[in-house]
Amino acid sequence: MNHIDRAFQELRAEGHAAFIPFLTAGDPDPDTTARIVLAAGEAGADVVELGFPFSDPIADGPTIQNSYTRALARGQRSEDVFRLVESVRPQSEIPIVAMISYSLVFRMGFDRFLDRACRAGLDGATIPDLPVEEMGRMRAAAEERGFHLICFATPATTPARRSMIVSAAAGFIYYIAVRGITGEREALPQDLVQNIRALKALTEAPVAVGFGISKPAHARAVAQVADGVIVGSALVRRIHEASEQGEDRVNAAVGFIREMARAVKGGRPAHKR
Catalytically annotated residues: 49, 60
The DSSP result for 87-127, as a single string, is: HHGGG----EEEE--HHHHHHH-HHHHHHHHHHHT--EEE-
Q: How many CB atoms lie within 10 A of CB 232?
A: 28
- The gap from C-alpha 243 to its chain's centroid, in whole angstroms, comes to 22
Cis peptide before 189 (omega within 30 of 0): no
CB 28 within 8 A of CB 239: yes
Number of continuous H segments (helices) and E segments (strands) in the chain: 12, 9
**How open is the CA angle 229-235-240, to the nearest 5 degrees?**
165
What lies within 8 Å, CB to CB, of 83 at 6+ separation is 30, 120
Element (H, E) at 175: strand 173-176
Q: What span, in angstroms and rounded, lies between the C-alpha atoms of 232 and 20? A: 9
Q: What span, in angstroms and rounded, lies between the C-alpha atoms of 186 and 86? A: 37
CA distances (Å), origin 186, targets 38, 66, 174, 212, 216: 30, 21, 21, 8, 12
How many residues appear in the chain? 273
